[in-house]
Structure 1
């Protein structure tokens, strides 16, 4: 093999944030394997989720729209692995693929952004909050039922531009995404985890590869972060037992502290009026089971009518 041969082709969405994440994966791989970054090619792929800009994703098939075309390319062999925002990855993957590596997690918190108020609590009654997230909509209305929520779609830069043009009085974005594209300064206020529970997987970058590709799996294992994997095991098992789509607003976050984990989970109605929360603590080896147990508790407490009314499984 020559020094310029490509070791692997990385598939990614083409947004500035997705490309930043792909470059982070590439740079970490280059350092881990002591090769030039150019040995890893990056192939942008336009997904259905990127193409749909006129309505909420839940009306078009859910968050799997951000991964479908990437998985098709992965299964066809035109890319060697895909890089995703973990919060965009559906609960259930094709049988032939798996999440083979998670990078160290960035800040999982949500950011409030507005040119008219310093915080959500300071927005005047009737102000419009723009967001594409059903979870953020529900949690905003839980805290401020007097506000209005409109759908704003697009990448980070597009949403900030729409806010600047007056399409909304405020918006909410993942702090991790702002940091990765160098726009952290746009955050007016940062919510704490306890007051505004993030989406499952928020802040974590996931690598999806083919299960039987031992060479690629060994390559990407070198950049995996064990604590992030443990946290995501808890969060994704929680999500799996509640709702595989994005029709029920769900929040979940796991903090890993040495050999222990601390998990919080929430389900909430889209109007923010009905919600159920729970928490778990335990050994990191039990992360997946603790997340699943938390989900079973919330299903029992909320009842199946909750999921029927609010678009669950």
Structure 2
């Protein structure tokens, strides 16, 4: 449960988060890991979870690319962080803009959950078996483009809201199917409702999907020392690679972009794509490099995709 603001003066650490069930589950996981690393934080009131409503949460009836992109899920929380109202912010890394506000850093990444997407449908058992012309609800250009590339006959309609809302919309017939992140379902203990887990060869995930990032002030040594033991080096390497690719592509919610980095021993494999929103053109790249060259690999793949797509492809 989130603590009340009245506890703020006593809290050793104040966590800023959105108020959705998934966001609160992620904040609670962060608190649990902090307590495990620093037992003194287990005392009552030592950690406060503060809910901050973002523009993205308020604007539920419009697509993100129409109202400013994925930064709308982080802006107000980052403002609170810069103002000193909270000490850290817990984010789904796939929601994070390519570049952070000056003075803020992603100081820690928790171990990544399964990055794959799942299909939830009332008809069929896979994308291939959905009825001809079926309506798929999704507000994600990445998912929509890849679905249309696989099944041009399917109709994509906007479907926003938190996990529970989107599931309910499918169950009542607003759409035949939708796609959700498996990581979110696992964190909400709802993975059993998935009709099918989609292969990454079928639907490539969003950049950093499944990763929880903890944002803090760059010069806040007290807080950053508390966070240091929580950082997962493998997740950091993978997310660094994917976000480096995204940065080269200057990616936003207006362009379907997907990327997945995977460690294979001391090698790192990166698969990435850019697509037109209707899925009529999809450019893909797949390469490996030494794990120590994570950022370099991401930038290399980003440049190659940009070259393949051409100057008029990316807005």
State whether TM-score is above 0.5. Answer: yes
After superposition, what is the alpha-carbon deviation per residue over 1:113-144, rounded to whole angstroms, capped at 9, x for unaligned? 01111111111111100011110010110000
Deviation at 1:215, TM superposition (A): 0.8
Q: Name the CA distance, whole Å, in 1 between partners of 2:43 and 2:166.
A: 31
Deviation at 1:5, TM superposition (A): 4.6
Deviation at 1:258, TM superposition (A): 3.5
**What are the equivalent positions in structure 2 for 1:108-123 lying under 5 Å apart?**
108-123=115-130
Query: Please, which of 175, 180, 192 is the counterpart of residue 182 of structure 2?
Result: 175
Query: Please, which of 301, 310, 313 is the counterpart of residue 294 of structure 1?
Result: 301
Deviation at 1:259, TM superposition (A): 2.3
**Aligned residue in 2 for 1:22:** 27
The reply on whether 1:106 has 2:106 as its aligned counterpart is: no
Q: Name the CA distance, whole Å, in 1 between partners of 2:293 and 2:196.
A: 34
Q: Name the CA distance, whole Å, in 1 between partners of 2:57 and 2:194.
A: 24
**What are the equivalent positions in structure 2 for 1:186-265 lying under 5 Å apart?**
186-265=193-272
Deviation at 1:170, TM superposition (A): 0.2
Normalised by the length of structure 2, the TM-score is 0.95
Q: Name the CA distance, whole Å, in 1 between partners of 2:159 and 2:93.
A: 21
**Aligned residue in 1 for 2:3:** none
Size of the aligned set, in residue pairs, is 305
State whether residues 30 and 37 of structure 1, in contact with CA within 8 Å, keep that contact through their aligned partners in structure 2: no
**Aligned residue in 2 for 1:12:** 17
Query: Please, which of 7, 19, 32 is the counterpart of residue 37 of structure 2?
Result: 32
Q: Name the CA distance, whole Å, in 2 between partners of 1:149 and 1:88.
A: 21
**Aligned residue in 2 for 1:45:** 52
State whether residues 239 and 261 of structure 2, in contact with CA within 8 Å, keep that contact through their aligned partners in structure 1: yes
Deviation at 1:295, TM superposition (A): 0.5
- Once structures 1 and 2 are overlaid, which stretch shifts more, 28-37 or 51-60? 28-37
Q: Name the CA distance, whole Å, in 2 between partners of 1:171 and 1:12.
A: 25
Deviation at 1:302, TM superposition (A): 1.0
State whether residues 267 and 298 of structure 1, in contact with CA within 8 Å, keep that contact through their aligned partners in structure 2: yes
Q: Name the CA distance, whole Å, in 2 between partners of 1:85 and 1:258.
A: 26
Q: Name the CA distance, whole Å, in 2 between partners of 1:65 and 1:5.
A: 30
Deviation at 1:37, TM superposition (A): 6.6
- Once structures 1 and 2 are overlaid, which stretch shifts more, 27-36 or 84-93? 27-36
**Aligned residue in 2 for 1:160:** 167
**Aligned residue in 2 for 1:86:** 93
Deviation at 1:257, TM superposition (A): 2.9
After superposition, what is the alpha-carbon deviation per residue over 1:117-176, rounded to whole angstroms, capped at 9, x for unaligned? 111111111110001111001011000000000001100001011111110000000000
State whether residues 112 and 211 of structure 2, in contact with CA within 8 Å, keep that contact through their aligned partners in structure 1: yes
Q: Name the CA distance, whole Å, in 1 between partners of 2:28 and 2:16.
A: 11
Deviation at 1:244, TM superposition (A): 3.5
Counterpart secondary structure, 2:230? coil
Normalised by the length of structure 1, the TM-score is 0.95
Query: Please, which of 273, 282, 304 is the counterpart of residue 280 of structure 2?
Result: 273
RMSD across aligned positions (CA): 1.1
Counterpart secondary structure, 1:231? helix
After superposition, what is the alpha-carbon deviation per residue over 1:234-279, rounded to whole angstroms, capped at 9, x for unaligned? 0000000113321110000001233221110100110001011001
Counterpart secondary structure, 2:249? coil
State whether residues 123 and 131 of structure 2, in contact with CA within 8 Å, keep that contact through their aligned partners in structure 1: no
User: Which sections of structure 2, spanning at least 5 residues, go unmatched?
Assistant: 1-8
